[in-house]
Structure 1
Amino acid sequence: MTVTPSADVVVLDIEGTTSEAGFILGDLYDFARPRLEEALGRESLRAARADAIAETGLPADATDTEVADALRALMATDVKSTPLKTIQGVIWAEGFAAGEITSQFFDDVPPRLRSWADQGLRIAVYSSGSVASQQPWFRHAPQGDLSTLVEAWFDTVNAGGKKDASSYATIAEALGVAPARALFLTDHPEEVAAARAAGWQTVALDRAGEPWAGAAFEGPVVHTFDEIELGR
């Protein structure tokens, strides 16, 4: 089924939408786990460390190892924790820069993004992963640097939770676009509902093998970006 939305800006989720959730929960999580203690000792991450302690209910004098163990427990159940995502983002950005890790995109995604950019459509990203991890994820794509196609980056720090309609209002305002002219692509039914409640257009990605495959979605549903003929 082909859908033909008309929008001024398309906003992308990452996990399960542009990229395999299993790659993120596997390779990237495996890279971050043993590096948490060292990261938690950095002065630049003191605020994220304090937030992690508060979120996990640890005592204020918890050791780096205790905090790291609590964060690894969150990772085991894929809890979308903002301090965890902040710390992971720093670790991953360094891994990307050093060539120790790479990103992954579904084959249908890069050609569509380049085509939309060539049409003059604006592209942004909104993910629970921190902006610090989003940018190298797109920059180090196996299909070439995709970060140059993206004009704005949003996460749960600068926009808010992805299941909250107010977050989409914040993003629309930041982009200077009317909600009705913004299109969100995501694989999560609750994110679809939140975006639509804020007046956005949505197209849900129902990709085989992904966590939300076969879910009940509001609005249009496709299986790949090839089924989206986006116009203005």
Structure 2
Amino acid sequence: MTVKAILTDIEGTTSAVSFVFDVLFPYAREHLPAFIHARAGVAEVAAQLAAVRAESGEADADTQRVVAILLEWIATDRKATSLKALQGMVWQQGYEAGELKGHVYPDAVVALRRWKAEGYALYVYSSGSIQAQKLIFGCSEAGDLTPLFSGYFDTTSGAKRETASYERIASAIGLPAGEILFLSDVLQELDAARAAGMRTLGLAREGGVLGGHETVASFAAIDPSVF
């Protein structure tokens, strides 16, 4: 069984973790309060605020309290789908204003373009919302990379450390799991993908090994044809 599709993580894999924690999160933290107060009545925003109230167990929280909850979640990097969606809306404004540019490692850009040309189907799976994923690649320092990808997956497919999530993704892609190569810098994610039947490859950009998985330091060292 040969690899026909490549599923990649973003943070620490295609892109620097520091971009998310040192650029995107601070931007969201700074701009989210004003964004919510200005758009709390807009349907797509209101729906996410309702989800925050439900998840926090504070059904009667006013807008100011919801903002406080979201800022607490940002501080603790909580993987809440509602938070991710609202952050994505704020980041979209930043990208459109030219205040943000998505970081993608040059070696990842080269490899992704080559794999696309070679006929591999490319997909993304990140804890960030699908909207946020498209913004990173669509407004990247290397230009619009979204034409390279056939699909995107986020936490609506399940948690990244759960085997069932990768089973759902393989089903959505429409390939046997063994024909999908998953790339990540997180051991537990690689373990879950392997348990679902996917091929796995670890990215350790600072060196080291992700136990039990072949590990490389750069996309330049990856040859999907050997899996």
Using the TM superposition, name which of 59-68 and 115-124 deviates more: 59-68
Tell me the alpha carbon deviations over residues 129-162 of structure 1, each in whole angstroms, 9 at most, x when there is no partner.
11111112101111121111001011111x1111
> Given the alignment of the two structures, is residue 168 of structure 1 paired with residue 155 of structure 2, yes or no?
no
Structure 1: any 5+ residue segments left out of the alignment?
none
Residue 73 of structure 2 is matched in structure 1 by: 74
> Given the alignment of the two structures, is residue 109 of structure 1 paired with residue 108 of structure 2, yes or no?
yes
Choose between structure 1 and 2 for higher RCO, CA contacts under 8 A separated by at least 6 residues. Answer: 1
Residue 186 of structure 1 is matched in structure 2 by: 184
CA drift of 1:96 comes to 1.2
Using the TM superposition, name which of 106-115 and 96-105 deviates more: 96-105
Structure 2: any 5+ residue segments left out of the alignment?
none
Using the TM superposition, name which of 130-139 and 5-14 deviates more: 5-14
Tell me the alpha carbon deviations over residues 29-54 of structure 1, each in whole angstroms, 9 at most, x when there is no partner.
11111332344313212222122223
> Given the alignment of the two structures, is residue 7 of structure 1 paired with residue 3 of structure 2, yes or no?
yes
Q: Could you say if the C-alpha distance between residues 192 and 181 of structure 1 is closer, same or farther in structure 2, counting changes exceeding 3 Å?
A: same
Of all paired residues, the percent bearing the same amino acid is 37
In the alignment, the residues of structure 2 paired with residue 64 and residue 179 of structure 1 have an alpha-carbon distance, to the nearest angstrom, of: 43
Taking the TM superposition and a 5 Å limit, the aligned residue runs for 1:1-232 are: 6-40=2-36, 41=40, 42-57=42-57, 59-157=58-156, 159-208=157-206, 214=208, 216-231=210-225
In the alignment, the residues of structure 2 paired with residue 19 and residue 51 of structure 1 have an alpha-carbon distance, to the nearest angstrom, of: 29
Please give the secondary structure, in 1, of the residue aligned with 2:183: strand
Aligned letter for 1:126?
Y
CA drift of 1:89 comes to 1.0
Please give the secondary structure, in 1, of the residue aligned with 2:225: coil
RMSD across aligned positions (CA): 1.8
Q: Please state which structure has a larger fraction of its residues in helix.
A: 2
Tell me the alpha carbon deviations over residues 87-140 of structure 1, each in whole angstroms, 9 at most, x when there is no partner.
111111222122121110112110000010110111000111111111121011
